[in-house]
Amino acid sequence: MPSPKGPPELKHLDHVLVTPSAIKRRIGTLADQLNHDYAHKDMMVVAIVNGALIFAADLLRALRTPLRLDCLRASSYHSSTKAVGEPRIVDQMKLDVRGHNVLLVDDILDTGKTLAAVAGMIHAKGAATVRTCVLLDKKARRAVPFEADYVGFEIPNEFVVGYGLDFNERYRNLPCIGVLKPKYYAGL
């Protein structure tokens, strides 16, 4: 649980886009949908870490479907707010997806390149179905045609941090989603 005061880096935020209570409520609704849609299915959740770590942890604890969890790590960011090059899978998953109903979980759908690449890879490995669930969707930034099956919040085209999302690997522990004051994005 975050301390009542929250981490000191909350002061680095210019504004909050999604509050902790709104996140909690929305995850409850997403979990209801998933519990319904996967009621009689074998489910394999694949979280794209580090970004999806906190979202996946909260979402999974609201799921009643028996499931297995695996993680993979994709990378296209090089310490900036812009993706550089094509996403690479830098740490592969361990479970065999063949014949399984895979739910890919990520923090944010931005250009769509990461989820398009990872979903394609999991299809190619022989998954029975591949669906995607993201906490945030920045539709304005889409560079490839890709839509998630389950979306927490649509947000405007701003670089956000918190609740798993980072800027230069910081701010992942903020309990809300917010936009940093311009001086904290300095050096880009």
**Catalytic (active-site) positions:** 110
12 binds ligand IMP (CB under 6 A): no
Nearest in space to 118 (alpha carbons), one of 96, 163, 79, 86 = 86
The neighbour count for residue 126, using CB atoms within 10 Å, is 11
Nearest in space to 63 (alpha carbons), one of 99, 93, 101, 89 = 101
Residue 30 and residue 22: Cα distance in Å, rounded? 12
51 binds Mg ion (CB under 5 A): yes
113-172 residues in contact with ligand IMP (CB under 6 A) are: 113-114, 159-160, 165
Q: Tell the burial category of 60 from Cβ atoms under 10 Å away from its Cβ (0-12, 13-18, 19+).
A: middle
Per-residue binding letters, 93-132, with Mg ion (x by CB under 5 A): ----------------------------------------
162 binds Mg ion (CB under 5 A): no
Please give the size of the binding site for Mg ion, defined by CB under 5 A: 1
Residue 19 has φ and ψ, to the nearest 5°, of -80, 160
Residue 163 and residue 66: Cα distance in Å, rounded? 25
Nearer to ligand IMP, 97 or 165 (CB): 165
Q: At 173, is the secondary structure helix, strand, or coil?
A: coil
- Closest separation between CB of residue 187 and Mg ion, Å? 21
- Closest separation between CB of residue 99 and ligand IMP, Å? 27
- Closest separation between CB of residue 64 and ligand IMP, Å? 26
Please give the size of the binding site for ligand IMP, defined by CB under 6 A: 16
Peptide bond into 157 cis (omega under 30): no
Which listed option, ligand IMP, Mg ion, none, makes contact with residue 109 (CB within 5 to 8 Å by class)? ligand IMP
Which listed option, Mg ion, ligand IMP, none, makes contact with residue 112 (CB within 5 to 8 Å by class)? ligand IMP
Binding positions for ligand IMP, rule: CB under 6 A: 51, 77, 83, 87, 106-114, 159-160, 165
